[in-house]
Amino acid sequence: MIEAVRVRVERADALSCDASGGIDSSIILALASHERNDITAFTTGPAALFDEETSCTSP
């Protein structure tokens, strides 16, 4: 799995990840972030799940 992610990350000019919040997408995003530091991650879902006062954001 590590090699599969590494190969795909190396080939991409721009990289984004739609993180569902599940363990599989989280693992793939974590592995990819070890190869690159310019990944854009997105999470989607019902607005009621997101609370701007308690959400974490990167600087």
CA–CA separation, 32 and 5 (whole Å): 6
Provide the whole-model pTM.
Answer: 0.61
In the prediction, which pLDDT does 45 show? 67
What confidence score (pLDDT) does residue 10 get? 87
pLDDT tens string 22-49 = 788 888 888 988 998 888 887 776 665 5
